[in-house]
Amino acid sequence: MTTESPLGGGSDERRPSADQPTTSYPATGTSTPPPRPGRPIGLAIAALVVGIVAFLLGLVPVVGTIVGVAAVVLGIIALLRHQSKVMAWIGLGLGAVATIVSIVVAVGLGAAIDSVQQDDPAVTATSEPAPVRTSSTPAPTASATPTSAAADVPADYSDALADAETIANGLGSSKLETYTKLVAGGASEAAAQYAVDTVDADWQANAVRKAKAYAADGMTGDVLRNQLVSEYGEQFTAEEADYALAHLDD
């Protein structure tokens, strides 16, 4: 004869009721913390790249300066934001070197150009307009200049006149060559104009003097005439050259 279980489940184990609270236990082991985000280095990389470019362009005036300053600014900002010090300092240093080199090159280049222009009279002479020859003697374009009868002649006009005396009468130069040499020597166009118009010189006699000197060296005919009228020669007018050839044997 079989006895039924009082719980109806055929087992002597007592089950908890639905109203009885259950106890939970923490899981064993240690949880892994989430990875920390890396420090940003974008500005430091930019400073390094721009610094390298600036260093390569350091010998280019202006351009090297602009790129170098940009590298320095980026490097400073990267340092202030605590980004990679190594890249920031390298970019900053390369930018500073490029800026200094570019400025030195620009200053040196400007000084060299000024020196060449000051030391080369031909550059100064060609930069000034040549007088226009319209008659037997060259006559530069009209300008308001003092005459020899003026009561007060500026000092630079007097200096130009004294130099014209030496060039025209001492060297036997033409009027146009005298004007050109005065301007190349530092006289203003107005002072040179005044000097060649005022100086007591016989331009035809100067042409004869030059022609005889060239003839003594064996120059004759058209070659001699071309030497007298050429802009690379004596710069006499055609009439003065013809007069000199006609009086070569006087």
The span from the CA of 173 to the CA of 236, in Å, is 8
Q: Which of 131, 65, 71, 77 is nearest to 102 (CA)?
A: 65
Q: Which of 7-11, 31-35, 58-62, 165-169 has the weakest average pLDDT?
A: 7-11
pTM: 0.40
The span from the CA of 240 to the CA of 89, in Å, is 75
Give the residue with greater pLDDT, 153 vs 25.
153
Residue 239 — very low, low, confident or very high, per pLDDT cuts 50/70/90?
very high
The span from the CA of 66 to the CA of 236, in Å, is 54
pLDDT at res. 44:
81
The span from the CA of 183 to the CA of 192, in Å, is 6
Backbone angles phi, psi at 6, to 5 degrees: -65, -25
Q: What are the boundaries of each domain within the chain?
A: 42-119, 155-246
Residue 144 — very low, low, confident or very high, per pLDDT cuts 50/70/90?
very low
Residue 21 — very low, low, confident or very high, per pLDDT cuts 50/70/90?
low
What average pLDDT does range 177-189 have in this prediction? 90
Backbone angles phi, psi at 133, to 5 degrees: -95, 120
What average pLDDT does range 146-168 have in this prediction? 78
The span from the CA of 214 to the CA of 66, in Å, is 59
CB 173 within 8 A of CB 181: yes
Q: Using CA of residue 52, residue 58, residue 59, residue 65, what is the dihedral sign?
A: positive
Return the amino acid letter for 86.
V
The span from the CA of 8 to the CA of 1, in Å, is 17
